[in-house]
Amino acid sequence: MFELLGVPPQALFGQVLLGLINGSFYAILSLGLAVIFGLLNIINFAHGAQYMMGAFVAWMCLNYLGVNYWAALLIAPIAVGATGIVIERVFLARIAKYDHLYGLLLTFGLALIIQGLFRNYYGSSGLPYGIPPQLTGGQNLGFMFLPTYRGWVVVASLVVCLATWFVIEKTKLGSYLRAATENPTLTQAFGINVPLLVTLTYGFGVALAAFAGVLAAPIYAVNPNMGADLIIVVFAVVVIGGMGSIMGAIVTGFSLGLIEGLTKVFYPEASSTVIFIIMVLVLLVKPAGLFGRAA
Amino acid sequence: MTDLASSDTQSAATVAETDDSAARLHRNLFIAIAVLLVVAPFVAYPVFVMKVLCFALFALAFNLLLGYGGLLSFGHAAYFGMASYVSAYTAKQWGLTPELAILLGTAVAAVLGLVFGALAIRRQGIYFAMITLALAQMAFFFSLQTPRFTGGEDGIQAVPRGKFLGLISLADDRALYWLVAAIFMGGLLLIYRIIHSPFGQVCKAIRDNEPRAISLGYRASQYKLAVFVLSAGLAGLAGATKAIVFQLASLTDVYWTMSGEVVLMTLVGGLGTVFGPIVGAAVIVAMQNYLAGLGSWVLVVQGVIFVACVLLFREGIVGVIAKWIKKPL
């Protein structure tokens, strides 16, 4: 067996794949945060909790209703997105006129509530969720073994990310959205229902988080705490990328996952902090973020 | 970010005419607090009061940054927690006397604040909050991965309370209480002094209108950094003292939930009020004591309070009272 840079290729590519999977979650979650931030000007602290909810809805679908993974992939984003719409209408719309940091505090409170409730009913030990039968097993690619499910996660995330980018940048609906982001008052004056757009945008961002949660369910155990630490890493990703650009969020998410995976191979001690260290470097060199517009 | 401290700015117009009466009121409040501090250990459980005092100082430090610097840090656990580790470690392993351990912890927190603050003030608003949170998470991972220093999951337990100045044993709760009360009062007076100093006035000006303050010739980022370091150092003072009181430093102190708690305390008490964080800390610590048996429901209750405060009660307890009596508190 040959070695690459002193590391067996199996381990190297295995970690690269794992990095890409984490990167998929970073990309989807930071994309959702960016979309929400664009229109609502708030940072959705509950994003991690909503990602966790997505995983739990998938688990509940399977264990209470006997609904399989593929249906859950559709049901969970819709169900969790609907709770997002309620949250926007009941809470966020009321505080929109105050300082945007109140939105952060409010969604932080919501995250605590959601996480606490799930921890009460399901404990914090984690529940298993099997890989759907169509995606078990794997392919031997010669240089590495590729578990089918992991490959699917990367492909599915990439497709969802690019579809989101396409809708926002290339369609009429997306142009309304971009107009409302740029100047909500003027957009409203042109007869576009901006409050509705805001509600739907929040719902959509939340649905993206739930989708990531369903994808994550078979890889990580379904756990009430699964989103709590992840969201902080995603915040760092968002700081690195800047929230000005949809494509920027996608590219930053995937590449940071990759870098994290490589760090796990070459210097495992730093793997949990490498993204924060990159954030520090970016702040020093390009404070507005890699894809950000200067504030 | 002016809105976050609206209770303070609204009252700004009335400050001039009520300046004297407000100053008199504040002096009387300080006397009342001092009397309360003297009476408290005889009517309440001293360890509980010390816990309240440590968290009140922590919240005061946090509020100095948010209420008067206009900077929402979501990572104050880093300074609280790291100072707590340093003071616990040096008291236990190096055998430092408690006051030296606390001072060292405070100094480390201030240095950490200097580094993190210099990075975080490069961005504003929501980004600032996210950066401080991410940096604090880095401090958490550092603590998790250096068990030789932090004791990992176990934390540093059985920290000796030692002898104050090498003379007076602090093993007795009452004896320790006076040290903690003195630290708290010193911290409170220092913060009051900072807020009402010319430096504090400039900080408020930058909070309310940064471009204008810059155009008047103030170096906004230096003021922001200075108030950040002061806030981090005082948060460290609270954390270091807490480690000596409970003889324990653990990962809880440096985790993001701790950052959230201090935000909650300040929010409940009243953002941008001098005395609000003390009330908020007392309310939240008392609540945690009563609800301790409920397990993760505490998290839910805290979340509900967060949401309720933001929706209905943005001024906080002291903020509402201040509005009522039309004097800044």
pLDDT tens column, A148-169:
898 999 999 999 999 999 999 9
Q: What is the pLDDT of residue B250?
A: 93
Coil, strand or helix at B208: helix
Q: What is the pLDDT of residue B17?
A: 52
Tell me the pLDDT of chain B averaged across its residues: 90
- Which are the contacts of A133, defined by CB distance < 8 A and separation ≥ 6? none
pLDDT classification of A4: cutoffs 50, 70, 90: low
**CA distances from residue B134 to A286, B45, B86 in whole angstroms, order as listed:** 17, 37, 21
| Amino acid at site A259 | I
Q: What is the pLDDT of residue A270?
A: 87
- Which are the contacts of B276, defined by CB distance < 8 A and separation ≥ 6? B63, B266, B269, B270, B316, B317, B318, B319, B329
CA B161 from centroid of its chain's CA atoms: 22
Inspect the interface and report whether the beta carbons of B303 and A116 lie closer than 8 Å: yes
Partner residue opposite B1 with nearest CB, options A99, A110, A233 = A99
- B chain contacts of residue A113, beta-carbon cutoff 8 Å: 299-300, 303-304, 307
Residue B4 in contact with partner chain A when CB distance is under 8 A: yes
Percent of chain B with pLDDT over 70: 95
Angle CA A20–A21–A24, to nearest 5 = 85
Give CA–CA dist A106/A104, Å, rounded: 6
Partner residue opposite A43 with nearest CB, options B126, B295, B298 = B126
Nearest CA in chain B to A117: B300
Lowest-confidence segment of A84-93, A127-136, B275-284, B287-296 by average pLDDT: B287-296
Residue A220 in contact with partner chain B when CB distance is under 8 A: no
- Which are the contacts of B23, defined by CB distance < 8 A and separation ≥ 6? none
Give CA–CA dist A44/A48, Å, rounded: 9
SS3 content of chain B, % helix, strand, coil (to 5): 80, 0, 20
Q: What is the pLDDT of residue A41?
A: 87
Bridge partners (DSSP) of residue B249 are B156
The backbone torsions φ and ψ at residue A140, rounded to the nearest 5 degrees and listed phi first, read: -95, 115
Percent of chain A with pLDDT over 90: 59
pLDDT classification of A107: cutoffs 50, 70, 90: very high
Percent of chain A with pLDDT over 70: 97
Give CA–CA dist B48/B298, Å, rounded: 18
Asked if residue A2 has pLDDT above 70, the reply is no
**Average pLDDT rounded to a whole number, residues B46-70:** 94
**Average pLDDT rounded to a whole number, residues A53-78:** 93
Which of the residues B73, B138, B257 would you substitute to probe the A interface, choosing the one with the greatest number of A C-beta atoms within 10 Å? B138
pLDDT digits (tens, 9 = 90+) for A69-80: 999 999 999 999
- Which are the contacts of A202, defined by CB distance < 8 A and separation ≥ 6? A36, A39, A40, A44, A84, A85, A87, A88, A92
Give CA–CA dist B299/A192, Å, rounded: 40
- Which are the contacts of A182, defined by CB distance < 8 A and separation ≥ 6? none
The residue to which tokens 């945008």 are assigned: A201
pLDDT digits (tens, 9 = 90+) for A254-277: 999 999 999 988 888 888 899 999
Inspect the interface and report whether the beta carbons of B126 and A37 lie closer than 8 Å: yes
Inspect the interface and report whether the beta carbons of B256 and A284 lie closer than 8 Å: no
Angle between helices A246-266 and A228-241 (to 10 degrees): 120
The reply to whether the predicted model has a pTM over 0.95 is no
Q: Are strands B168-169 and B163-164 parallel, antiparallel or unpaired?
A: antiparallel
Inspect the interface and report whether the beta carbons of B306 and A105 lie closer than 8 Å: yes
Closest CA to B243 of B155, B127, B141: B155
Residue B313 in contact with partner chain A when CB distance is under 8 A: no
Asked if residue B14 has pLDDT above 70, the reply is no
Which tokens belong to B77? 């656990």
Q: Kindly tell me the number of DSSP H helices and DSSP E strands found in chain B.
A: 16, 2
The backbone torsions φ and ψ at residue B61, rounded to the nearest 5 degrees and listed phi first, read: -65, -45
Q: What is the pLDDT of residue B19?
A: 74
Residue B146 in contact with partner chain A when CB distance is under 8 A: no
Coil, strand or helix at A4: strand
Q: What is the pLDDT of residue B6?
A: 47
Architecture of domain B2-325: Orthogonal Bundle (1.10)
Residue A77 has what DSSP assignment?
H
Nearest CA in chain A to B2: A99
Give CA–CA dist A216/A257, Å, rounded: 14
Domain boundaries, chain B: 2-325
- B chain contacts of residue A233, beta-carbon cutoff 8 Å: 134, 137
**Average pLDDT rounded to a whole number, residues B201-227:** 94
- How far does the CA of residue B279 sit from the closest CA of chain A (Å)? 19
Which tokens belong to B130? 């996210």
Sign of CA dihedral B297, B137, B263, B157: positive
pLDDT digits (tens, 9 = 90+) for A197-248: 999 999 999 999 999 999 999 998 899 989 988 999 999 999 998 887 888 8
Give CA–CA dist B125/A295, Å, rounded: 10
- How far does the CA of residue B261 sit from the closest CA of chain A (Å)? 11
Inspect the interface and report whether the beta carbons of B122 and A104 lie closer than 8 Å: no
Q: Are strands A145-147 and A138-140 parallel, antiparallel or unpaired?
A: antiparallel
**Average pLDDT rounded to a whole number, residues B123-145:** 91
pLDDT classification of B1: cutoffs 50, 70, 90: very low
